[in-house]
């Protein structure tokens, strides 16, 4: 006999099918969501295994039917002879041919492949990218699940560029701009080095090493190959070829006594430090007058510096720009200390932006060392052992 609170037989007969229907509905929803989202998610590549990925079109960017280039990047250096095929969702093949691309130029050599479609993309279709790639060591490169969706129409309008600025920063020019659609910014001076971004974006920053003075040209190009060409800008590298090359803010020896900042003359003639200054955070410090020969180094140190102790010592003939104070300016903190070398007119010559955090105990005694030309974060790395005056 059923309890007063249990449903009657007739009620149970109605309730059971309704409950089952709800379960079936939820199961169908889960399957539908999985089917829809499965293609939009890229499973993470196996750790340590080379893999390919789409650079252009970028994730979430619909490709115009007149897409100029398809670019595939890789997490390893590729062997020559790779290929890219495009297939529409009906299985038809879209002809392609290999091309050069500034998007590949902005990446490490041999880790990118670009093709241009030989015909317009079918509108509103899922396009599968079939990449056949082999690593330089002969191993396979995973290239599964690469696809993008074509837009409904071509793009025939060039990007509109705004907020354009060009700043000379020591031996480099830094270009900032914004475009009204995803695009790539490329910059160059005459026949010199060209610098470009590795992907299409709205907000652009390109850093270009300057070998000489000249007119800096720029191009902002969208996925369809439509380009805007802002007016060229006159640029020139710093006339003073002195560079901040290494910093030891966290010595294993006494602090702040054994801290130092290394400068190098990267020019072909001797240079004097007369009239130069270092700006450390907000404190400006005048440098003693010494002469650095071509390729020569000098160390900015405090009055308490000895070069003795557990840290590598400078060579016996090293030029020491010894300050009359017990520390270098306010002292070098282990992270985020900004250091700028200024000429006698107060103009920036070279800088370190405090990009490395050398405060952990595991990094004690390591220096911040310049590994690139331009004054950007990518130009600095931890150095071990430090090489003062070398």
Total Cβ atoms within 10 A of residue 181: 17
Flag whether 297 is in a domain.
yes
| pLDDT at 46 (0 to 100) | 53
Q: Give the per-residue pLDDT at 45.
A: 46
Q: Are residues 139 and 270 in the same domain?
A: no
Instruction: Among 149, 169, 197, give the residue marking a domain's end.
Output: 149
What is the rounded distance in angstroms from the CA atom of residue 238 to the CA atom of residue 350? 9
For residue 285, the model assigns a pLDDT of 96
On whether the CB atoms of residues 261 and 373 are closer than 8 A, the answer is no
Total domains in the chain come to: 3
Residues 279 and 174 grouped into a single domain:
no
Q: pLDDT value at position 91?
A: 82
- Are residues 173 and 141 located together in one domain of the fold? no
**Is residue 168 located within the same domain as residue 285?**
no
CATH of the domain at 308: 2.60.40
Q: Of 85, 144, 70, 72, whose CA–CA distance to 113 is shortest?
A: 72
Give the per-residue pLDDT at 4.
Answer: 38
Q: For residues 332 and 370, state if they share a domain.
A: yes
Q: Please indicate, yes or no, whether residues 246 and 372 belong to a single structural domain of this protein.
A: yes
Q: What is the pLDDT of residue 48?
A: 65
In a domain, 214, yes or no: yes
Q: How far is CA 367 from CA 31, 260, 311, in A?
A: 54, 10, 10
Strands (DSSP E) contained in 210-366 are: 214-222, 227-228, 233-235, 242-248, 260-265, 271-272, 277-280, 283-286, 291-292, 297-301, 319-322, 339-342, 348-352
Which of 89, 118, 149 represents a domain boundary (last residue)? 149
Report if pTM > 0.75: no
- Residue 244's pLDDT is what? 97
Q: Is residue 289 part of a domain?
A: yes
In whole angstroms, give the CA distance from residue 219 to residue 188: 9
Domain CATH for 97: 2.60.40.1220
* Residues 214-224 pLDDT 10s: 999 999 999 99
In terms of domains, do 250 and 372 share one? yes
Q: Is residue 176 part of a domain?
A: yes
For the segment 71-80, what is each residue's pLDDT rounded down to a tens digit?
Answer: 999 999 999 8
Q: Which helix (H) or strand (E) holds 360?
A: none
List the structure tokens of 379: 């130009």
- Whether residue 94 sits in one domain with residue 63: yes
CB 261 within 8 A of CB 244: yes
Question: Residues 269, 208: one domain?
Answer: no
Nearest to 287 by CA among 339, 230, 224, 235: 339
Task: Please give the residue range of the domain that contains residue 333.
Answer: 242-383
288 inside domain = yes
38 is written with which tokens? Answer: 């499965």
Q: Clarify whether residues 169 and 139 are in a common domain.
A: no
Asked if residue 377 and residue 253 are part of one domain, the reply reads yes
287 and 187 in a single domain? The answer is no
Q: Identify the segments of the chain with pLDDT beneath 50.
A: 1-45
Has residue 178 been placed in a domain? yes
Please indicate, yes or no, if residue 265 is contained in any of the structural domains. Answer: yes
- How far apart CA 350 and CA 278 sit, in angstroms, is 10
Looking at residue 13, what is its pLDDT?
37
Strand, coil or helix: 339: strand
Decide: 127 and 87 in contact? Cβ < 8 Å: yes
Q: Is position 295 within any domain? A: yes
Cis previous bond, 256, omega within 30: yes
Which residue, 218, 235, 252, sits at the end of a domain?
A: 235
DSSP 23: H
CATH of the domain at 215: 2.60.40.10
């Amino acid at each position: 006999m059923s309890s007063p609170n249990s449903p009657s037989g007739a009620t149970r007969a109605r309730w059971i099918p309704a409950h089952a229907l709800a379960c079936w509905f939820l199961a169908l929803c889960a399957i539908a969501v999985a089917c829809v989202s499965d293609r939009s998610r890229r499973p993470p590549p196996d750790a340590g295994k080379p893999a390919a990925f789409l650079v252009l079109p970028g994730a979430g960017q619909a490709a115009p039917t007149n897409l100029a280039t398809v670019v595939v990047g890789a997490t390893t250096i590729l062997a020559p002879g790779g290929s890219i095929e495009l297939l529409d969702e009906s299985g038809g093949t879209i002809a392609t041919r290999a091309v050069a691309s500034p998007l590949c130029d902005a990446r490490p050599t041999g880790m990118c492949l670009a093709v241009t479609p030989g015909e317009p993309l079918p509108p509103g279709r899922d396009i599968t990218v079939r990449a056949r790639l082999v690593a330089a060591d002969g191993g396979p490169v995973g290239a599964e699940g690469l696809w993008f969706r074509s837009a409904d129409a071509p793009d025939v309008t060039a990007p509109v560029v705004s907020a354009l600025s060009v700043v000379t920063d020591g031996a480099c020019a830094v270009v900032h701009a914004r475009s009204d659609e995803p695009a790539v910014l490329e910059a160059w001076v005459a026949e010199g080095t060209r610098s470009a971004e590795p992907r299409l974006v709205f907000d652009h920053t390109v850093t270009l090493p300057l070998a000489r003075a000249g007119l800096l040209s720029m191009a902002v190009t969208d996925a369809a190959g439509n380009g805007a060409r802002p007016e060229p800008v006159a640029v020139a590298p710093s006339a003073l070829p002195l560079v901040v090359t290494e910093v030891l803010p966290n010595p294993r020896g006494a602090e702040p006594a054994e801290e130092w900042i290394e400068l190098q003359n990267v020019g072909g003639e001797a240079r004097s430090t007369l009239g130069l200054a270092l700006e450390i955070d907000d404190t400006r410090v005048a440098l003693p007058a010494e002469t650095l020969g071509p390729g020569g180094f000098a160390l900015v140190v405090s009055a308490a510096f000895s070069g003795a102790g557990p840290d590598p010592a400078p060579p016996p003939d090293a030029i020491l720009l010894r300050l009359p104070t017990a520390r270098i300016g306010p002292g070098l903190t282990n992270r985020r200390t900004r250091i700028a070398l200024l000429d006698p007119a107060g103009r920036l010559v070279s800088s370190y932006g405090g990009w490395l955090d050398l405060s952990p105990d595991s990094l004690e005694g390591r220096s911040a060392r310049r590994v690139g030309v331009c004054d950007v974060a990518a130009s600095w790395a931890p150095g071990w052992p430090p090489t003062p005056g070398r």
